[in-house]
Chain A
Amino acid sequence: MKLTGLEVRPPMTRTADSVRTSFVVEPKPVPERTPSVISIDRLSVLYGTHVAVKEVSMEIAERRVTAIIGPSGCGKSTLLRSINRMNDFIAGIGFQGAIRFRGRDIRDPGYDPIDLRRSVGMVFQKPNPFPKSIYRNVAWGAAINGYRGDLTQLVEDALKKAALWEEVKDKLSQSALALSGGQQQRLCIARAIALQPEVLLMDEPCSALDPIATARIEDLIDKLKAQYTVVLVTHNMQQAGRVSDYTAFMYMGELIEMDATGRIFTNPQVRKTQDYITGRFG
């Protein structure tokens, strides 16, 4: 297989899945259509007078990985954090337009953001486990949200889904801070999964990790989409190409182009997208 210089993968975790490893050579097939879970409708986000996101509209497909790419400061993180209302804490932020989750406007005054965040989980750029045990990190969200089932079982399931169980099953009571960066990030994914959300928002989840840990998270994202809708913000185009089904390219707050990943990377319709993907700027 001939690869261009773009393709850098560690030797481990190679699978026979040619789709995942060969987008540069042959286009990824267009994914099968699924219903939209999140619908963003001409959303603008303002910090004071600065427009960070400008009239962006997009549909997020159920049980697919949607990547949002673009240069630093293009508004991709702001857009992502608007989806679970993590931006609410910023003073002087303003919104126009709407985001609908399962048809319901998330800014509706009657819609408690806490309810929204139960369904829409988030993983951050830097792993941020609580200074508590591994077990309590995973159980934390479920426990405060009144989970009535078997917490121990829930923790085990979540850790298994996050591909961390085998590494930590004998040290659940140890501090989460003793784990490696990659393990901590998978723990944060397990912690989000334990709340049984529908959507996982991931804000550059690998940017603080080494290539091997990154490869494991990417494998994990690929598995997660069987059950969850994933929205992935990344500055790493190869990563978007490897793991996502759809890719949205943002530039200066605007959505330039969004399409199936295979098409965006091989046959972008807008000149700017092509320039960015081929590395002419960014």
Chain B
Amino acid sequence: MRQPLRKAREGLIYGVLLGCALVSVVTMLGIITVLVSESVPFFREVSVWSYLTGTRWSALLEPRTFGVLPLLAGTVQVACGALALAVPVGLGAAIYLSEYASPRLRTLTKPILEILAGVPTVVYGYFALTFITPDILQRIFPAAEVFNAASAAIVVGIMIVPTIASLCDDALRAVPRSLREGAYALAANRLEVTARVVLPGAFSGVVAAVLLALARALGETMAVTLAAGMTPKLTLNPLTSVQTLTSYIVQVSLGDTPHGTIEYQSIFAVALTLFLITLTINVIAQRMIRRFREEYD
């Protein structure tokens, strides 16, 4: 007699849990639908070709042109600068934690490193604007502008160091102990074991970590907007202000752009561009992680 009650309860739990699982899937589908449907009218006005190859972005001022390359260049410049800084530091930290640090130091250091990942990004932005640019960059390079790509790259680099360090540390530690022991038994020193056995063994895991960090750097918004400014410019000079895909979206979203106008639609096209880039990188990273797991299972 209690059987039907229990069955109903099971069914309810099943439904609630399924709903929870579906939330993220539905959200994802919703985002894609909105991005695509709002981008379509934009690409009716501006051809995909001229969007992708245009070298001038002037969405808000006449004459309007929508060439995404300056935004893309700003994004790539900041992200690559951040990686150039964060990969050596993050990987170095990971090697230290995994191969050199005593277990006690490790249990102390790793949580601190991970807390660093929890600092709000707007704090990093202010840090760049009020400290890195005036107190470091402008002292070394007096020509540096108040808003510049270099300071953005530096703070984004600091932001992604914990991601890289933590994921690389996991990858290095996943290399079996037996391989390390085999190398030590062949009269290798610690550096040789690390550089010639552990690092090659963890290679695909390290690449995956770097790609995930890159995806994060490309999508970083608040810190970059504050540090790099909002000047869409196709330049290699890191000391001048640039605009990234994300900071353009911020600029339009904060302004009083009316619905249905082309500049309003343009942010969806830009967001779609960014979404496709980070999606590709994430997919490659996931593949690398899977391949890495297969190597030692």
Interface residues of A (CB under 8 A from B): 84, 86, 89, 91, 114-115, 117-118, 121-122, 124, 126, 128-131, 140-141, 144-145, 188, 191-192, 195
Contacts and interface: CB of A to CB of B under 8 A. Distances in A.
Interface residues of B, number: 20
A131 B201 contact: yes
B182 interface: yes
Given A91-B102, A145-B187, A124 B182 contact: yes
B192 interface: yes
Query: DSSP class of B's interface residues: helix, strand, loop or mixed?
Result: helix
A84 B185 contact: yes
Interface stretch (B1-9, B136-144, B173-181, B274-282): B173-181
Given A91-B102, A130-B197, A144-B192, A195 B186 contact: yes
B52 to A, nearest CB: 41
Given A91-B102, A131-B201, A144-B192, A126 B185 contact: no
Contacts of B189: 114
A141 B188 contact: yes
A188 B182 CA distance: 9
A84 B182 CA distance: 12
Given A91-B103, A130-B197, A131-B201, A140 B186 contact: yes
A191 B186 contact: yes
Given A131-B295, A144-B196, A117 B182 contact: no
Contact of A122 (B176, B185, B196): B185
Q: Which of B103, B179, B183, B187 has the most CB of A within 10 A?
A: B187
Contacts of A145: 186-187
A195 B179 contact: no
B185 A121 contact: yes
A130 B197 CA distance: 7
Nearest to A116: B187
Contacts of B179: 128, 130-131
B206 to A, nearest CB: 15
B185 A130 contact: no
Given A91-B102, A91-B103, A141-B188, A130 B181 contact: no
B96 interface: no
Contacts of B131: none
A91 B186 CA distance: 21
A124 B186 contact: no
Given A91-B102, A128-B176, A131-B295, A141 B186 contact: yes
25 contacts: A84-B185, A86-B181, A91-B103, A114-B187, A114-B189, A117-B184, A117-B185, A118-B187, A121-B185, A124-B181, A124-B182, A128-B176, A128-B179, A128-B181, A129-B182, A130-B183, A140-B186, A140-B196, A144-B187, A144-B196, A145-B186, A188-B182, A191-B182, A191-B186, A195-B187
Contacts of A91: 102-103
A122 to B, nearest CB: 4
Contacts of A89: 184
B178 A126 contact: yes
Contacts of A188: 182
A84 B185 CA distance: 8
A128 B102 contact: no
Nearest to B178: A128
A129 B181 CA distance: 11
B108 to A, nearest CB: 14
Contacts of A117: 184-187
Nearest to B201: A131
Nearest to A188: B182
A114 B196 CA distance: 16
A144 B176 CA distance: 21
Interface in B174-224: 176, 178-179, 181-189, 192, 196-197, 200-201
A49 B189 CA distance: 29
B33 to A, nearest CB: 44
A38 to B, nearest CB: 16
Given A124-B182, A131-B201, A140-B196, 19 more contacts: A86-B184, A91-B102, A114-B188, A118-B187, A121-B186, A124-B178, A124-B185, A128-B176, A128-B182, A129-B182, A130-B179, A131-B295, A140-B183, A140-B186, A145-B187, A188-B182, A192-B185, A192-B186, A195-B187
